[in-house]
């Protein structure tokens, strides 16, 4: 039974030809190389790597583990087929990612994953910027954590040069093959990726343009794949049982899968060594299972343990008030812990402040000590001078009196200085206030000068003079007044003359405007009178139309009556046909003559009405045209007045 997960050591029959890997049989007991040699694993463990004539192969093999009823924890491959360890190495489960002898000789079989003719597609979003940034971050963290000798940064990994990529690949690959030196990276790196089972083809031309936009995402993804492969192998070689056995709920107990695995391993070793009975191993397994599930009790009777546990359970159920009490105690303890933590935090802050104050006081004490030493030295010097000098008591009193007088004079001078300082401060405040007022006046003056086009000197009304009032320490208001008073008086005279002229023009324009308004009002009144006349004529026309209509109706009624009379006369034609015919003709003539006269009167009235309407319309159009002219003229005058007023202002 092979325990290590490291690569196998297989000696090939031909020492000159390097064997890239082995193939493990389905029983897990024997390993065959590509040339057919058999390696026995009886009574020994694997030594770690495949030996090829004194050299170590840099290609790790994959170990097929028996299923333990749980999913594999390996990383998924990118384009490979299968699960578990085959996902990590990107190949099918038949050869476990190890190239066989036929693969090295470029002989591809049509059976299995290596015999496929289709090129695997890249399923990772390598062109996505966010994916590239995450990959760069992972790669940078891996290189920094594992002690990459060269300096590396995110900016360099955005588009690294060829040499930097070769160094990073050699550094990561050295975890699989320690001490590897790649002499021709443009040829060896694609070949190594192919031998490791990387599903995507890396061309030789991509090695010449590593940092370009179309090749760097694929090469970055290949480096991330190699990094994950190294991390997976390191985790497997670290002997972590979580990859092999189902983790148990108890943190300090051995999983049952591991117990069975160790039992099978020990019995198989004993079987290979020639033993036929395994009672001791069975007894050890039963003791381990009892210790796991029975709590490690020393008594061999499990029924007694069960009875004892039932009695303990009944006692615990009887004591029903224990849990609330414990909860209350827990709450009290938690509150005490919280209060103590707050108190400790306050104590820490208080100690920090006290330490800071202590440091400050120490510094003050040290400075005072230095001053004390200097004063003591001065006192000693003065004492020596006093002892050495030959002065009488009267001289000393006289000197002390002079010192007191001088001290009094100094005090008086200091009081005078303080009073003078106060007066100076008041004067300075008054000066500052007056200066602020002056600056406000100067700002108002400058703004008015800007509006009057006096500032700057190149303005329209400046005439080459600088009218700007400047408040500075060098110039005073008197200087500005003397410089600008003459020019301002002249400008004021000009402005007053222009204002008078504009006012006279304004009065003239207002008088003309009033005249235009009067004419406009007269025209409006005439227009209203004409409209009234037009309405009267229209009413007269309507009356004439109604009268004509009534006359026509009366004539029609008369015609109808005449026709009735004719009918009556026709009935009486037998009595006087000739007289009736004469009367009829006369009446018809009279009717026709009267009808013709009425038609003439109607035509004449219609013609008169049309002429009257045309005259009224013409008069109305002329009045409207005159009104429009007057309104335009009044607008122009109003605009002129506004412009003149603006110029004056």
User: pLDDT value at position 16?
Assistant: 42
Tell me, yes or no, whether 540 and 605 share the same domain: yes
Count: domains in the chain:
4
1, pLDDT greater than 60 = no
Structural domain of 99: 1-73+95-110
Higher pLDDT, 453 or 505: 505
**Considering the domain boundaries, does residue 143 fall inside one?**
yes
User: pLDDT value at position 172?
Assistant: 93
Ranking 46-60, 373-387, 584-598 by mean pLDDT, the lowest is 46-60
User: pLDDT value at position 483?
Assistant: 62
Cα–Cα distance measured from residue 470 to residue 443, given in angstroms and rounded to the nearest whole number: 9
196, pLDDT greater than 70 = yes
DSSP helix/strand/coil, 52: strand
4, pLDDT greater than 80 = no
pLDDT range class, residue 36, cuts 50, 70, 90: very low
The domain boundary, picked from 244, 265, 286, lies at 244
Higher pLDDT, 78 or 636: 636
pLDDT mean over 498-503:
86
Tell me, yes or no, whether 233 and 282 share the same domain: no
| Secondary structure, 3-state, 499-517 | HHHHHHHHHHHHHHHHHHH
Residues of the chain above pLDDT 90, percent = 16
User: pLDDT value at position 85?
Assistant: 36
Tell me, yes or no, whether 134 and 105 share the same domain: no
Cα–Cα distance measured from residue 232 to residue 74, given in angstroms and rounded to the nearest whole number: 7
**Considering the domain boundaries, does residue 85 fall inside one?**
no
Residues of the chain above pLDDT 70, percent = 71
Tell me, yes or no, whether 503 and 631 share the same domain: yes
User: pLDDT value at position 584?
Assistant: 83
User: pLDDT value at position 3?
Assistant: 39
pTM: 0.28
**Considering the domain boundaries, does residue 616 fall inside one?**
yes
User: pLDDT value at position 440?
Assistant: 85
Closest CA relative to residue 234, chosen from 146, 293, 120, 366: 146
Higher pLDDT, 393 or 260: 260
Ranking 212-216, 321-325, 413-417, 640-644 by mean pLDDT, the lowest is 321-325
User: pLDDT value at position 171?
Assistant: 93
453, pLDDT greater than 60 = yes
**Considering the domain boundaries, does residue 207 fall inside one?**
yes
User: pLDDT value at position 497?
Assistant: 85
pLDDT digits (tens, 9 = 90+) for 566-593: 888 777 766 667 776 788 888 888 888 8
Owner of token pair 């109305």 = 620
pLDDT mean over 457-484:
64
Tell me, yes or no, whether 128 and 99 share the same domain: no
Tell me, yes or no, whether 287 and 163 share the same domain: no
**Domain of 135: which CATH number?**
1.10.418.30
Tell me, yes or no, whether 127 and 105 share the same domain: no
Tell me, yes or no, whether 194 and 286 share the same domain: no
The domain boundary, picked from 318, 346, 369, lies at 318
**Considering the domain boundaries, does residue 517 fall inside one?**
yes
Closest CA relative to residue 304, chosen from 318, 283, 320, 290: 290
Tell me, yes or no, whether 551 and 642 share the same domain: yes
pLDDT range class, residue 168, cuts 50, 70, 90: very high
Which pairing describes strands 30-32 and 38-40: parallel, antiparallel, or unpaired? antiparallel
pLDDT range class, residue 373, cuts 50, 70, 90: very high
320, pLDDT greater than 80 = no
Q: Give me the chain's average pLDDT, please.
A: 75
Q: With beta carbons less than 8 A apart as the criterion, state whether 43 and 269 touch.
A: yes
Tokens of 213: 């936009």
Higher pLDDT, 475 or 25: 475
Handedness of CA 175, 181, 185, 191 (dihedral sign): negative
81, pLDDT greater than 80 = no
Mean pLDDT is highest, among 245-259, 456-470, 483-497, 603-617, for 603-617
User: pLDDT value at position 170?
Assistant: 93
pLDDT mean over 27-31:
37
Mean pLDDT is highest, among 6-15, 216-225, 444-453, 582-591, for 216-225
Q: With beta carbons less than 8 A apart as the criterion, state whether 172 and 230 touch.
A: yes
Ranking 96-110, 286-300, 550-564 by mean pLDDT, the lowest is 96-110
Tell me, yes or no, whether 150 and 218 share the same domain: yes
User: pLDDT value at position 143?
Assistant: 92
The domain boundary, picked from 244, 274, 292, lies at 244
User: pLDDT value at position 480?
Assistant: 59
19, pLDDT greater than 60 = no
For residue 78, the Cα-to-chain-centroid distance in whole angstroms is: 33
User: pLDDT value at position 455?
Assistant: 73
Cα–Cα distance measured from residue 380 to residue 402, given in angstroms and rounded to the nearest whole number: 23
Higher pLDDT, 256 or 357: 357
Higher pLDDT, 197 or 14: 197
pLDDT range class, residue 287, cuts 50, 70, 90: confident
**Considering the domain boundaries, does residue 147 fall inside one?**
yes
Tell me, yes or no, whether 101 and 158 share the same domain: no
Tell how many helices (H) and how many strands (E) occur in the chain: 13, 5
**Considering the domain boundaries, does residue 550 fall inside one?**
yes
- Write the burial class of residue 39 (CB in 10 Å: 0-12 exposed, 13-18 middle, 19+ buried): middle
H-assigned helices in 238-300: 256-272, 279-293
231: Cβ–Cβ under 8 A, 6 or more apart, which residues?
142
481, pLDDT greater than 60 = yes
pLDDT range class, residue 139, cuts 50, 70, 90: very high
602, pLDDT greater than 80 = yes
Mean pLDDT is highest, among 9-13, 136-140, 430-434, 474-478, for 136-140
Higher pLDDT, 111 or 123: 123
131, pLDDT greater than 50 = yes
pLDDT range class, residue 323, cuts 50, 70, 90: confident
| Secondary structure, 3-state, 350-377 | HHHHHHHHHHHHHHHHHHHHHHHHHHHH
**Considering the domain boundaries, does residue 206 fall inside one?**
yes
Tell me, yes or no, whether 133 and 238 share the same domain: yes
641, pLDDT greater than 60 = yes
């Amino acid at each position: 039974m092979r325990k290590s997960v490291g690569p196998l050591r297989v000696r090939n029959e031909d020492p000159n030809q390097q064997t890239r890997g082995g193939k493990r049989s389905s029983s897990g007991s024997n390993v065959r190389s590509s040339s057919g040699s058999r390696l026995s694993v009886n009574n020994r463990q694997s030594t770690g790597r495949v030996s090829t004539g004194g050299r170590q192969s840099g290609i790790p093999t994959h170990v097929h583990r028996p299923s333990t009823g749980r999913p594999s924890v390996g990383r998924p491959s990118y384009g490979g087929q299968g699960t578990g360890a085959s996902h990590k190495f990107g190949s099918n489960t038949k050869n476990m990612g190890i190239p066989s002898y036929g693969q090295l000789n470029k002989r591809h079989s049509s059976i299995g994953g290596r015999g496929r003719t289709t090129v695997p597609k890249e399923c990772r979003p390598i062109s996505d910027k966010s994916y590239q940034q995450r990959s760069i971050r992972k790669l940078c963290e891996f290189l920094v954590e594992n002690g990459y000798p060269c300096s590396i940064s995110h900016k360099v990994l955005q588009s690294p040069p060829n040499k930097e990529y070769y160094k990073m690949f050699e550094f990561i690959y050295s975890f699989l093959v320690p001490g590897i030196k790649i002499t021709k990276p443009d040829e060896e790196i694609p070949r190594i990726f192919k031998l490791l089972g990387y599903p995507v083809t890396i061309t030789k031309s991509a090695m010449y343009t590593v940092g370009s936009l179309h090749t760097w995402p694929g090469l970055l993804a290949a480096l991330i794949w190699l990094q994950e492969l190294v991390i997976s192998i390191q985790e497997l070689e670290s002997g972590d049982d979580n990859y092999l056995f189902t983790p148990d709920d108890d943190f300090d107990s051995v999983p049952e899968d591991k117990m069975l695995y160790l039992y099978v391993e020990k019995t198989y070793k004993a079987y290979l060594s020639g033993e036929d009975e395994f009672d001791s191993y069975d007894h050890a397994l039963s003791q381990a299972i009892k210790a796991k599930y029975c709590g490690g009790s020393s008594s061999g009777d499990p029924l007694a343990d069960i009875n004892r546990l039932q009695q303990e359970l009944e006692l615990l159920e009887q004591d029903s008030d224990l849990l609330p009490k414990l909860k209350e105690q827990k709450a009290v303890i938690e509150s005490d812990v919280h209060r103590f933590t707050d108190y400790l935090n306050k104590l820490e802050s208080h100690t920090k402040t006290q330490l800071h104050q202590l440091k400050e006081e120490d510094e003050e004490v040290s400075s005072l000590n230095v001053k004390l030493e200097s004063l003591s030295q001065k006192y000693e010097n003065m004492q020596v001078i006093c002892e050495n000098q030959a002065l009488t008591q009267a001289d000393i009193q006289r000197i002390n009196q002079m010192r007191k007088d001088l001290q009094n004079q100094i005090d008086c001078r200091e009081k005078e200085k303080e009073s003078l300082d106060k007066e100076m401060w008041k004067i300075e405040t008054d000066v500052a206030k007056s200066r602020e007022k002056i600056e406000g006046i100067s700002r108002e003056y400058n703004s008015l000068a800007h509006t009057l086009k006096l500032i700057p000197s190149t303005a329209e009304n400046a005439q080459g003079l600088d009218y700007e009032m400047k408040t500075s320490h060098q110039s005073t208001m008197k200087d500005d007044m003397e410089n600008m008073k003459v020019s301002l008086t002249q400008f004021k005279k000009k402005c007053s003359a222009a204002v008078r002229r504009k006012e006279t023009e304004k009065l003239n324009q207002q008088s003309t405007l009033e005249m235009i308004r009067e004419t406009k009002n007269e025209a409006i009144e005439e227009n209203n009178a004409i409209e009234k006349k037009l309405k009267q004529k229209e009413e007269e026309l309507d009356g004439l139309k109604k009268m004509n209509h009534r006359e026509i109706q009366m004539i029609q009624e008369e015609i109808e009556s005449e026709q009735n009379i004719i009918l009556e006369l026709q009935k009486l034609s037998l009595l006087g046909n000739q007289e009736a015919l004469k009367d009829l003709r006369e009446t018809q003539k009279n009717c026709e003559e009267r009808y013709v006269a009425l038609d003439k009167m109607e035509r004449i009235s219609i013609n008169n009405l049309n002429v009257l309407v045309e005259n009224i319309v013409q008069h109305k159009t002329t009045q409207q045209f005159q009104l429009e002219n007057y309104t335009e003229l009044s607008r122009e005058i109003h605009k002129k007045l506004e412009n003149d007023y603006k110029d004056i202002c």
